A and B are shown apart, each in its own frame.
Chain A
Amino acid sequence: MSTAVRCGGPGRSGTVVAMIEVNELTKRYGRRTVVDRLDFTVRPGHVTGFLGPNGAGKSTTLRMVLGLNAPTSGAATVDGRDFRGLPRGLREVGALLDAGDVHGGRTGGAHLRALALGNAIPRRRVDEVLAEVGLADAAGRRIGGYSLGMKQRLGIAGALLGDPPVLLFDEPLNGLDPEGVLWVRGLFRRLAAEGRTVFVSSHMMAEMEHTADRLIVIGRGRLIADESLGEFAARAGRTGVAVRAAEPERLTAVLRAAGATVRPGPDGSLDVTGLDPGRIGELALEQRLLLYGLTERGASLEEAFMQLTADSVEYLAGEPR
């Protein structure tokens, strides 16, 4: 059963390509720009990770995609349409923004039944998604008594209710136990394999490493990277050099003058990128600086991500534009 038939409403062609398209999207609160001319496309058939440090504008972007927040300028569309103009949402986009966006006084079952009723989704489907997320036994209990992991599962159940071609998840792994994390990863991959668009935000690269096959990285509301996990890994392949020196301050100045990026590493060593170990050794010799250690190492994806986002922050703060 294809997404096209399942979700094809009136006025749509047979081959539905339910993409999320973000075009020059900008959101300002007063003078603060939270999302800054963001441009990207999220395509079906992949799990796309949406990465950025805390406060990068990920949640605001997702809320604009869902029509909860109005863009200051630009547009976010799903399947070419503005979400705010749709009468009902669950069959178009399933979303979990925050597992806490529920009323603790209701039972999990009542919460899902109310969502289903409003979208004309049959009652049977509620039992299906409850079973799918493993909450069938907890459906009659009040949400206030759920753990964070159970609330995440309930939120995922709500996102799956309408069997939608597009799914959005904001930090869905928070509070899940290791078994839950594995289950969610498997679920996301399966949803993508079914031809759906799966867009998952996180501030942790490590979470995305085993989940996403494409990455959209933002920092301070701006697009930093939009590429496959493979391309991103290639960036991470850039090696860094750990240097231990007798006079780290002087060496830092020398290496920076030679164009390297130098950061203080653990136990007093220096983390140098942009110069190979041979060149670092030569520079130290020229300046008569004593080196104790010179170790080449590959950066992890996590480090590549940190570096990428840190660069963007430095770039924004330091460079006159």
Chain B
Amino acid sequence: MNARTPVRRARFGDLLAAEWLKFWSLRSIPWVLALGALAVLAANLRTAQYTHDHYLPGEGDPVVMKQVALNGSFDTASADILMLLAGSLGAIVIAGEYGTGLIRTTLAAVPDRRAVLLAKAAVLTAVLTGFGIVSAGGSFGLTQAVLADRGIGQSITDPTALRYVAAAALFAPVCGLVGLCLGTLLRHSAGAVVGTVVVLFFLPSLVTERYRWSADLLHALPFAAWQRLARTTLAGMRPTEYPATVAGSWTTYAAWALASVVLATVVIQRRDH
């Protein structure tokens, strides 16, 4: 061999670059992201168009109408699309490595498993945050332009509108990290995707807000947290004895993201590969 290869100590940044390349070098991923963003835009444009066609200026409480206008920019269907897409992507990013056996090649090349997982989580978070900003932000811009001529289009400079868009955009990386965690735990792509759907999608529908304890449980789930953050006013809502708080919902986002990464790191560290 030769002496031309200079030795430089590898840093975490090198792992980020490696995982970034791995993420984008799978042909299906850019397509999935592009189609997902288009689906979110299409769903919301349809909702906004409906609001546009059925809203009579001057009708309704302006506070409620603001909510209606915002709902046009990112409705529950979009949240479902985002959740499924981000969760599945997170699950597949790691379960795909287990399923193919690539994980052994990866970990033999980088025995520091924690660093591998953190790099994966960082790349996933960056990509999905970008994806969330593009799809939720883009959707906001387009739909509010549609609603502008009815006089209810919102501006992103409005703090509640900003929170609405931020909650939608950040929902993507939170769901992605939950998927990453389940993918690490289950090691099987299909199983991990199903598990992610169960946790993110079905769990919230099984929990009622009627009792204190179950309301606390519900508010600790990512989907319910998004719903609360997307609620600019509680007026016009069915009253509940135990409403969720905005701060609590942000905490839920952070807690799920953090707990997912920690759990996945612990598991990958201990397991035989």
Contact = CB atoms under 8 A, between A and B. Distances in A.
Interface of A: 1, 5-7, 9, 63, 66-70, 83-91, 93, 95, 97-98, 100-107, 110, 113-115, 117-122, 124-125, 142, 155, 158, 163, 194
Given A1-B3, A107-B25, A118-B10, A89 B97 contact: no
B18 A104 contact: no
A104 B96 CA distance: 10
Interface stretch (B108-116, B137-145, B153-161, B249-257): B108-116
A106 B115 CA distance: 22
Contact of B5 (A70, A113, A122): A122
Contacts of B1: 1, 6, 163, 194
A62 B214 CA distance: 50
B209 to A, nearest CB: 43
Contacts of A107: 25
Contacts of A100: 100-101
A82 to B, nearest CB: 9
B7 A119 contact: no
A89 B109 contact: yes
Interface string B11-35: 1001101110110011110000000
A84 B21 contact: no
A67 B136 CA distance: 43
B105 interface: yes
A117 B112 contact: no
A232 to B, nearest CB: 29
B205 interface: no
11 contacts: A84-B111, A88-B109, A89-B111, A101-B105, A105-B26, A110-B25, A117-B21, A118-B109, A119-B109, A122-B6, A163-B5
B109 A97 contact: no
A126 to B, nearest CB: 11
B54 interface: no
B8 interface: yes
Given A88-B10, A113-B21, A125-B5, A106 B273 contact: no
B8 A68 contact: no
A87 B111 contact: yes
| Interface SS, A side | loop
Nearest to B119: A118
B76 to A, nearest CB: 33
Given A6-B3, A70-B272, A114-B22, A101 B104 contact: yes
Contacts of B21: 110, 113-114, 117
A72 B96 CA distance: 28
5 residue pairs, one from A and one from B, having the closest CB atoms: A118-B18, A120-B10, A101-B101, A110-B25, A117-B18
Interface string B165-202: 00000000000000000000000000000000000000
Nearest to B2: A1
A103 B14 contact: no
Contacts of A66: 107-108, 111
B14 A119 contact: yes
A250 to B, nearest CB: 52
A113 B19 CA distance: 11
B10 A102 contact: no
A246 B21 CA distance: 72
A121 B5 contact: yes
Given A103-B26, A122-B5, A89 B110 contact: yes
Interface in B85-135: 96-97, 100-105, 107-112, 115, 119
Contacts of A163: 1-2, 5
A68 B115 CA distance: 15
Contacts of A158: 105, 109
B109 A102 contact: no
Nearest to B273: A68
Contacts of A6: 1, 3, 5, 7
A106 B26 contact: yes
Contacts of A119: 10, 14, 109-110
A63 B273 CA distance: 8
Given A69-B273, A101-B102, 20 more contacts: A5-B3, A66-B107, A68-B273, A85-B111, A86-B111, A88-B109, A88-B112, A91-B7, A93-B108, A97-B105, A101-B105, A103-B96, A105-B26, A110-B21, A115-B18, A117-B14, A119-B109, A120-B10, A155-B105, A163-B2
